[in-house]
């Protein structure tokens, strides 16, 4: 028995890093300007990092000019890396919904065009099921039919990181970011759609009701 103890301890030590790696997952989400969505999700408890980028299109290594010029088919997205032991994918989606206008499929807020449309890119069946459920919950909570929810749910494809100057833009360019966000009317629209549960409200993290 004593001879087995070192083997058991070694096995535990080897498995622990694998378990930790399994708990780290990615969510790729489009919700208008990636500066804003990155800023709104990066400090959620359980989130490890949030990175602005592009996904969904047909151009490899796209540039901001190609994406914003609607020449690549990509959306501006944020890749959210999170610890699934601390926050579930479903709960992360609750935060996502409260930071977008799910009734607008032509863009988001002042930013118009397909590159700004809201999309949930799902990796695997579990994420797809959770995304569909969260969409139905959002419709129920807003008191609208499911057809009014304009957030697309698509299979995840290649994520392309955005240029360095887009990363952590809100913190690196605070005054410019605050002016952009205000002038774009993002928080005003979120308040109109979600009321006190919006990002700018005191109870914006309250769970969606089924």
Mean pLDDT of 167-193: 96
Is the pLDDT at 205 greater than 50? The verdict is no
Helix (H) or strand (E) holding 29: strand 24-30
Q: What are 123's two structure tokens?
A: 């990796």
Beta bridge partners of 111: 108
Tell me the per-residue pLDDT of 120-135, one tens digit each, with 9 for 90 and over: 999 999 999 999 999 9
CA dist 143 → 132, 146, 190 (Å) = 17, 9, 16
Is the pLDDT at 174 greater than 60? The verdict is yes
b vs e for 83-98, b when ≥16 Cβ sit within 10 Å of the residue's Cβ? eeeebebbbbbbbbbb
CATH, domain range 22-197? 3.30.1060.10
Nearest alpha carbon to residue 171 among 42, 80, 44:
42
Mean pLDDT of 19-40: 91
24-30 β-sheet, strand order: 152-155, 119-122, 24-30, 75-83, 47-55, 159-161
C-alpha dihedral, 193 to 96 to 47 to 81, nearest 10°: -160
Q: Which residues are catalytic?
A: 33
Are 24 and 48 a contacting pair, CB within 8 Å? yes
Q: What are 87's two structure tokens?
A: 């926050």
Are 118 and 138 a contacting pair, CB within 8 Å? no
Q: What are 151's two structure tokens?
A: 């957030």
Q: State residue 36's pLDDT score.
A: 97
Q: State residue 200's pLDDT score.
A: 47
Q: State residue 199's pLDDT score.
A: 81
Is the pLDDT at 160 greater than 90? The verdict is yes
Mean pLDDT of 41-46: 94
Is the pLDDT at 18 greater than 90? The verdict is no
pTM summary value: 0.86
Out of 9-23, 38-52, 61-75, 171-185, pick the least confident.
9-23
Q: State residue 5's pLDDT score.
A: 53
Is the pLDDT at 148 greater than 90? The verdict is yes
Q: State residue 206's pLDDT score.
A: 38
Nearest alpha carbon to residue 165 among 71, 80, 38, 55:
38
Mean pLDDT of 37-43: 95
Question: What does DSSP assign to residue 114?
Answer: G
């Amino acid at each position: 028995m004593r001879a087995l103890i070192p083997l058991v301890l070694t096995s535990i030590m080897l498995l622990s890093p694998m378990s930790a790696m399994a708990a780290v997952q990615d969510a790729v989400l489009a919700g208008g300007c990636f500066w804003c969505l990155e800023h709104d999700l990066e400090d959620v408890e359980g989130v490890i990092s949030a990175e602005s980028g592009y996904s969904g299109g047909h151009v490899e290594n796209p540039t901001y000019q190609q994406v914003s010029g609607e020449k690549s088919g990509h959306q501006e997205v944020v890749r959210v890396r999170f610890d699934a032991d601390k926050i579930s994918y479903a709960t992360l989606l609750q935060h996502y919904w409260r930071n977008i206008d799910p009734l607008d499929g032509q863009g988001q807020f002042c930013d118009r065009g397909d590159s700004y449309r809201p999309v949930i890119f799902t990796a695997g069946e579990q994420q797809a099921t959770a995304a569909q459920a969260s969409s139905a919950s959002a419709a129920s909570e807003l008191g609208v039919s499911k057809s009014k929810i304009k957030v697309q749910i698509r299979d995840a494809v290649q994520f392309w990181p955005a240029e360095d100057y887009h990363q952590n833009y809100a913190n690196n360019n605070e005054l410019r970011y605050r002016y952009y966000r205000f002038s774009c009317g993002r928080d005003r629209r979120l308040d109109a759609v979600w009321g006190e549960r919006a990002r700018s409200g005191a109870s914006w993290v309250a769970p969606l009701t089924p």
